[in-house]
Amino acid sequence: MMNKLISTVSPHFHTPRSTQMIMLDVIIALVPAEIASAIIFGWRALLIVAVCVGTCVLSEFLFEKLCKRENTVSDLSSIVTGILLAFNLPVTIPIWQAMLGSVIAIIVVKQLFGGIGQNFANPAITARIIMLVAFSGDMTKWITPSGFFTDVNASTSATPLLAMTNGTDVPSYLDLFLGRHGGSLGETCALALLLGGGYLLVRRVITWHTPVAFIGTVALMSLVCGKDVPGQVLSGGLLLGAFFMATDYATTPNTKWGKIIFGVGCGLITILIRFWGNYPEGVSYSILLMNILTPYISKLTRSKPLVGGVEE
């Protein structure tokens, strides 16, 4: 009987949904942003997504085969990681760097810590930050999109956040909403991200707590600091991060108040970096830092058992 004992990491929730079903919903929610990236940045956006997804899936399969672990490719989590990593890259990124980032996300951040559910940080976010440090030039090369035939060798342009910092050539709110500006593949079109986030909320894959706390904190602090509130909300990776990466089951708190605290913390760190840091964007760093604090937030906000009618 002992060989049938199943031991897994917490949290343990009874649900009819499998990991595969949840990941499939996330993939569906990411489709609008993927379509938008192809329309805005051209065919190479689809190539980068395909390269990242393919490398992530292959890395997971080969690593688990080598380590004689149960194969988990069918749970679709590696596909989600690949799409999210691609969405955090510029369209001009060299293919070999996209492949290297995918290997880092799956093997270094996910598999070396035990696989899905045991990684301490979001794989796509962590891989992006490592790539920013290692390939800062290529990771910050932004071009003005011109549709399906966007020239990746075109002259560089500023992102909306950088333009707002410098006070020059700031895109209109409509351009920010539709994604007609430079930036990473999946972060530019706010409309597509809101559609995907709404789908996840309707399907109850995520709850409102973290996205609302994250976006609300950025909006409130922007107002307090006298900044352009709609511009700050619609620019950078805020919507992508709030709906798709700050809601990761494995690396964020599982309690309602924990999710709110996590979102507020992400929002505050994002604002600190955007307004007073050396980088115009702070979403990735804020999520990674709060990932590290997740165990402590979960412990602080978890329900305490009652013993004899008295809270223990």
Rounded Cα distance, 270 and 191, in Å: 21
Contact 40, 145 (CB under 8 A): yes
Residue type for position 229: V
The alpha carbons of the chain give a radius of gyration, in whole angstroms, of 20
Taking the model in full, what pTM does it have?
A: 0.89
Q: Which two tokens stand for residue 45?
A: 């956006």
Give Cβ neighbours of residue 143 (< 8 Å, ≥ 6 apart). 90, 91, 92, 150, 151, 152, 154, 155, 156, 157, 182
pLDDT for position 1: 42
Rounded Cα distance, 247 and 308, in Å: 36
Residue type for position 95: I
Question: What residues does 306 pair with on adjacent strands?
Answer: 311
Per-residue buried b or exposed e for 232-256, using 16+ beta carbons within 10 Å of the residue's own CB: bbbbbbbbbbbbbbbbbebbbbbbe
Contact 143, 93 (CB under 8 A): no
Q: pLDDT, tens digit, for every residue of 84-95?
A: 999 999 999 999
Closest C-alpha among 107, 66, 103, 82 to residue 23:
82
- How many Cα atoms within 13 Å fall on the side-chain side of residue 89? 36
Which of the residues in the chain have pLDDT under 70?
A: 1-16, 146-158, 167, 280, 304-312
Name all domains of the chain by residue range, CATH numbers in brackets: 18-300 (1.10.3430)
Contact 116, 9 (CB under 8 A): no
Q: State the sign of the Cα–Cα–Cα–Cα dihedral 148, 153, 156, 159.
A: positive
pLDDT for position 181: 86
pLDDT for position 168: 73
Count H helices, E strands: the chain?
14, 2
pLDDT for position 155: 52
